[in-house]
Amino acid sequence: MTDRKDELAANLAKVEQRIAAACAAAGRAREEVTLIVVTKTYPASDVRMLSELGVRHVAENKDQDAAPKAAECSDLPLTWHFVGQLQTNKVRSVVGYADLVQSVDRSKLVTALSKEAVKAGREVGCLIQVALDAGSGERGERGGVAPGGIEELADLVARAPGLRLDGLMTVAPLTGEYAGREQAAFERLMDLSTDLRRAHQAANMVSAGMSADLEQAVAAGATHVRVGTAVLGVRPRLG
Ligand SMILES: *Cc1c(COP(=O)(O)O)cnc(C)c1O
């Protein structure tokens, strides 16, 4: 059996090559794109090895897995991103370790995040999750607000104590007009980011692209890609 750390190092090198090639193809500097490794379902020991291999950003999507893992890894120089659908009763726990929440998609969640961030004396970075397949006034099946709802939510985050509006996040839709058209979806997210930055100049993060479509995200202008499977392997369960 190969050593896990060697395996992670080899996978990271491959992902790094893919990002570098995508940046080169798009005429972008490699530094414009930050790799976030999605460690969901994998143990704290993997997070530790990734940190030793130079990873600085990790993401999780379920508080019950993430909270103990983050506690075990609290000595590491990592930025923790929360990327899953978030219920308000989990907000207090998530605010305890997450530096950024990328899945902000409703006003109730903004209120809860603000309250707990203030209580904890922390500033939490927020990305509005956009559901490109949701109709106006709807939310996406996997969370996210329809494009028409971004502005109101962004203004709310920007005014909320304890929160910082950092930008937008999306997952390529499986249904609707963008199904199978990842790059078009990510280009649409970039347009929405341009609109957002008219009122909120500093909210310049664009989080898009996963293992299967990071090239399309980099081509469209994403600043952050969220990669799980290509670094850690195929997850044994849905997560
Ligand atoms: C799991 C997950 C990822 C990573 O997906 P892979 O296909 O494993 O790279 C990215 N973003 C979100 C929101 C996720 O839940």
pLDDT at 239: 46
35 lines ligand 1 (CB under 6 A): no
Q: How far is the CA of 225 from the centre of ligand 1 (A)?
A: 9
The three-state secondary structure class of 96 is coil
Give the fold, CATH level 3, of 2-231. TIM Barrel (3.20.20)
Distance in angstroms between the alpha carbons of the first and the last residue of the chain: 25
What pLDDT digit, counting tens, does each position of 151-196 carry? 999 999 999 999 999 999 999 999 999 999 999 999 999 999 999 9
**DSSP states of 125-145 as a string?**
EEEEEE-TTPPTT-B-TTS-B
pLDDT at 134: 86
Digit-by-digit pLDDT tens for the chain (239 residues) are 469 999 999 999 999 999 999 999 999 999 999 999 999 999 999 999 999 999 999 999 999 999 999 999 999 999 999 999 999 999 999 999 999 999 999 999 999 999 999 999 999 999 999 999 988 878 788 899 999 999 999 999 999 999 999 999 999 999 999 999 999 999 999 999 999 999 999 999 999 999 999 999 999 999 999 999 999 999 876 54
pLDDT at 237: 62
- The protein residue with its alpha carbon nearest to ligand 1, atom 11, reads 226
- Cα 93 to chain center, whole Å? 18
- Cβ atoms of 93 and 112 within 8 Å: the answer is no
pTM comes to: 0.97
Q: How far is the CA of 142 from the centre of ligand 1 (A)?
A: 12
Q: How far is the CA of 81 from the centre of ligand 1 (A)?
A: 12
Q: How far is the CA of 231 from the centre of ligand 1 (A)?
A: 11
41 lines ligand 1 (CB under 6 A): no
58 lines ligand 1 (CB under 6 A): no
| C-beta neighbour count of 174 within 10 angstroms | 11
What's the CA gap between 61 and 65, in Å, rounded?
Answer: 8
Q: Kindly list the domain boundaries of the chain, sorted by start residue.
A: 2-231
Q: How far is the CA of 38 from the centre of ligand 1 (A)?
A: 6
- Cβ atoms of 19 and 223 within 8 Å: the answer is no
